[in-house]
Structure 1
Amino acid sequence: MERFPELDDTLQDLSEVLDRRLVVVDESMHVVAYSIHESPEDRTRLFHLLTHSDSWPAPATATAPYSVDTPPGLRPTAFVRLLDPQKHIIGHLLVPVGDTTEDATLPETLTAAAEQVAELLLARRSEETGRMARSHELTRDLVTDDPSTRTAAAEALLAERRLSSSPHYCAVTLGVDPRSATRLEHEKTSQAVARTLRFVRETSTATVVGGVLDDHTGVLVFPRPVVAERLARILRSPQVSPVRAGIGPLTALTDMHLSFARARLAWRASWLAPTDHDVVTSWESVGLDGTLARLPVEDFTADDLPPAVRDLVGAVDSPALISTLETYLDAGGDAQRTARLLHIHRSTLYYRLDKLRAIIDGDLSDGVVRRELHTGLRLARLAGLLPRQ
């Protein structure tokens, strides 16, 4: 969590006047500031707030200056609303109170102080918005086609301490399948970028930057290798589904456009073949699909396929038969392994292969024929031209 000295100092002064440990949360119930918590009990309370506050329901302060609630794991707490000039709730000041009605009645000084805290929270949000806008702009410039723009962005990111210094950096591409994406789904890309930035800020010492390009594609830049499973946990959240991500290789910061380009190919492959790739896919693991993703395969028709595959696709409408051939080729022509992978008897496999041989113009034992079928079928699969089981 980023600290803002003026807000922290004001909160600490108020805490000493009231002799209570205070916490400020924003409108999404995330902790954004807190006074010093000295005792073990106070520190335990603060840890609980930092961990769980964003999962609590919003307090009932729409028509009252504050409400007293007892969140899970805490004693009674007053939630004092913080308002912007338009009277919109922008957060709450949390004050521990006693169990009696008299002790739960907040002094007038507290509600008055809430106005000052609200002003500082607004200033903090404005400053943070400006910083984020600047970071987003530099991140977009970092992956542009113009070398001078990339160099200037890399220098600014380090000079302004927006990105941690490191020998190598890694780009991540995020987004949804653009073929049928709605505006709401595109908006989830920016939410995924923001959630990832917040997660890194709150759980790591690294500084990460990100932004969203004009084509609705998100980009993140990490000063270290990305842990795919951690990123996948963020993207599996219903709030950002169906956003998927691709991870590029490590490069120098001035070569981040190269890492981004490969991250983008891994991301493309993941939505072209979503059942074959996880929600987060790296360039190092995506294999041939990453190379084939350079092609506009989503626009392919059967006429764009190699002749042998085109004829096969035109003659076979059985998903099981196509899947059998794909698995047989994946297994290098090993019949025993193919039958095991498909969970069928070997005689069933031979029956299917005989049907395929009657259609295919060529010998399945010929390496050239296998190569054309294997690659051509993969193209057809990525293009969505094969029946699915």
Structure 2
Amino acid sequence: MDRLPELDDAVQDLSETLDRRLVVIDHVMQVVAYSIHETPADRRRLFHILTHSGSWPRPHTAKSSHAVITLPEIGTMLFLRLLDARRRIVGHVVLPWNDTDPEHGPDPALEETAAHLGELLAARQHDVADRAARTYQLTADLVTGSAGERDAAAEALITERLLSTSESYCAVALGVDPRGATPLDHERTAHAVSRTLRFVRETSTATVVGGVLEEQVGVLVFPRPVVAARLTRILKDPAVTPVQAGIGPVVPLDEVHRSFEQARLAWRATWLAPDDHETVSTWEGMGLDGTLARLPLEHFRMADLPPSTRDLLAAVDSPDLLTTLETYLVAGGDAARTARLLRIHRSTLYYRLDKLRSILAGDLNDGVFRRDLHTGLRMARLAGLVPRPGKSAPRS
């Protein structure tokens, strides 16, 4: 949570006047300020508010200045709305409310003070919005702009303290499978970016920048290597599923656009072959799939595949037979290892291989033929042209 000195001081002054512990939440129910909480009970309540305020029901204060809501683990709380100059709700003051408090709600003095808090919060939100918009534009320029735009963006991000100074940086690309994605799916990308930025802000001293590009691909730039396990935990939240991410290599700031390019290829591979990659994958761990992701594989048809692969898929529609061939090629033609990987008897393997040899136009003992066939099958798999159990036939 960012500290807002002027707002913090005003909240503390009001707290001392009322002799109540106060919390201010913004329009998305996130805590932005709070008074000193001295007693163990007060601190326990504050910890619960900091952790769970985002999941609370929104108070109905559009027609009334306040609402009294009983919350689990906290008790009965008064929500007093905060308005900006155009009388739009920008947040609420939250304080414990007891049975001895007046039924009609807060006294006029408290509502008058709340008006000042609303002005402070609205001004801060305006500054934050301006800063966020500039940060996003600079981040977009840093990873997708021309050489001149990248240099200017890098300098501005550092001199304006929008991005931490470091010897090396790492880019992340994230989003949903664009094939058939809905506007709601793309909203999850923006939500995943904001959640990650907030997580880093609240748990680290590093400053990370990010946003969502026009083509609905999220971007994050870290001043350090990205811990894939932590990012995975964020993206496993049901609120952002099925967002996936690719992590680029660690590079100097002036090379971040290359890190993002490779992160984006890793991200593409995660949705081109979701069964073969984790929710968060790295460029270094992509192998051939990262390189193949440069191709417009989602638009491939049978005619775009190498002849050996095209002929094979035209003659074979058995997923088991194709999986056997792929596994045999992965095992370098080692029959014993192939049988172990497939968990089948060796005689079953030999039967399938004999059947494949009768179909194939080339010799499986020929290294060049095996290379072309192996690469072609992987291209077909990424393009969705290899039949799987229960799936429809490949596109022609």
Q: Same fold (TM over 0.5)?
A: yes
- Partner amino acid, structure 2, of 1:376: G
* Alignment deviations for residues 150-204 of structure 1 (CA, whole Å, 9 cap, x no partner): 1111111111111111110000011222232233323332222122111211222
Task: Tell me the SS of whatever aligns to 1:180.
Answer: coil
Q: Name 1:198's counterpart in structure 2.
A: 198
**Residues in 2 aligned to 1:41 and 1:182: alpha-carbon distance in whole angstroms:** 45
Q: Name 1:114's counterpart in structure 2.
A: 114
Q: Name 1:19's counterpart in structure 2.
A: 19
Q: Name 1:265's counterpart in structure 2.
A: 265
Q: Indicate whether 1:318 and 2:318 are aligned.
A: yes
- Partner amino acid, structure 2, of 1:142: L
Task: Tell me the SS of whatever aligns to 2:144.
Answer: coil
Contact kept in structure 2, 1:170 and 1:247, CA below 8 Å: yes
Give, in angstroms, the shift of residue 380 of structure 1: 0.8
TM-score of the two chains, using structure 1 as the length reference: 0.94
* Alignment deviations for residues 195-231 of structure 1 (CA, whole Å, 9 cap, x no partner): 2111211222110001222222211100111111221
Give, in angstroms, the shift of residue 87 of structure 1: 4.3
Q: Name 1:212's counterpart in structure 2.
A: 212
Gaps of 5+ in 1: none
Q: Name 2:36's counterpart in structure 1.
A: 36
- Identity, % of aligned positions: 64
Q: Which moved more, 1:285-294 or 1:331-340?
A: 331-340
Give, in angstroms, the shift of residue 116 of structure 1: 1.5
1:88-107 pair list within 5 angstroms: 88-102=88-102, 105-107=105-107
- Partner amino acid, structure 2, of 1:29: M
**Residues in 1 aligned to 2:291 and 2:134: alpha-carbon distance in whole angstroms:** 33
- Partner amino acid, structure 2, of 1:355: K
1:284-303 pair list within 5 angstroms: 284-303=284-303
Q: Name 1:51's counterpart in structure 2.
A: 51
Cα-Cα RMSD: 1.9
**Residues in 2 aligned to 1:142 and 1:60: alpha-carbon distance in whole angstroms:** 42
1:375-386 pair list within 5 angstroms: 375-386=375-386
**Residues in 1 aligned to 2:333 and 2:189: alpha-carbon distance in whole angstroms:** 42
**Residues in 2 aligned to 1:6 and 1:333: alpha-carbon distance in whole angstroms:** 71
1:239-258 pair list within 5 angstroms: 239-258=239-258
- Partner amino acid, structure 2, of 1:338: T
Contact kept in structure 2, 1:162 and 1:207, CA below 8 Å: yes
* Alignment deviations for residues 99-123 of structure 1 (CA, whole Å, 9 cap, x no partner): 4354995332112222211221111
Q: Which moved more, 1:258-267 or 1:33-42?
A: 33-42
**Residues in 2 aligned to 1:163 and 1:298: alpha-carbon distance in whole angstroms:** 35
Contact kept in structure 2, 1:324 and 1:342, CA below 8 Å: yes
**Residues in 1 aligned to 2:100 and 2:349: alpha-carbon distance in whole angstroms:** 77
**Residues in 1 aligned to 2:206 and 2:75: alpha-carbon distance in whole angstroms:** 35
Give, in angstroms, the shift of residue 86 of structure 1: 4.9
Q: Name 2:342's counterpart in structure 1.
A: 342
Total equivalences in the alignment = 389
Give, in angstroms, the shift of residue 133 of structure 1: 0.5
* Alignment deviations for residues 310-340 of structure 1 (CA, whole Å, 9 cap, x no partner): 1101101111111111122122222233223
- Partner amino acid, structure 1, of 2:258: L
Contact kept in structure 2, 1:76 and 1:99, CA below 8 Å: no
Task: Tell me the SS of whatever aligns to 2:285.
Answer: helix
Task: Tell me the SS of whatever aligns to 2:181.
Answer: coil
Task: Tell me the SS of whatever aligns to 2:59.
Answer: coil
Task: Tell me the SS of whatever aligns to 2:10.
Answer: helix
Give, in angstroms, the shift of residue 259 of structure 1: 0.5
1:167-182 pair list within 5 angstroms: 167-182=167-182
1:55-204 pair list within 5 angstroms: 55-102=55-102, 105-204=105-204
**Residues in 1 aligned to 2:100 and 2:139: alpha-carbon distance in whole angstroms:** 53
Task: Tell me the SS of whatever aligns to 1:286.
Answer: coil
Give, in angstroms, the shift of residue 41 of structure 1: 2.8
TM-score of the two chains, using structure 2 as the length reference: 0.93
**Residues in 2 aligned to 1:105 and 1:269: alpha-carbon distance in whole angstroms:** 56
Give, in angstroms, the shift of residue 43 of structure 1: 2.3
Contact kept in structure 2, 1:97 and 1:104, CA below 8 Å: no
- Partner amino acid, structure 2, of 1:318: S
Contact kept in structure 2, 1:98 and 1:104, CA below 8 Å: no
* Alignment deviations for residues 80-111 of structure 1 (CA, whole Å, 9 cap, x no partner): 12234554433211112334354995332112
- Partner amino acid, structure 2, of 1:262: Q
Q: Name 2:393's counterpart in structure 1.
A: none
Contact kept in structure 1, 2:66 and 2:105, CA below 8 Å: no
Contact kept in structure 2, 1:97 and 1:103, CA below 8 Å: no
Give, in angstroms, the shift of residue 367 of structure 1: 2.3
Give, in angstroms, the shift of residue 14 of structure 1: 0.7
Contact kept in structure 2, 1:78 and 1:104, CA below 8 Å: no
Q: Which moved more, 1:344-353 or 1:24-33?
A: 344-353
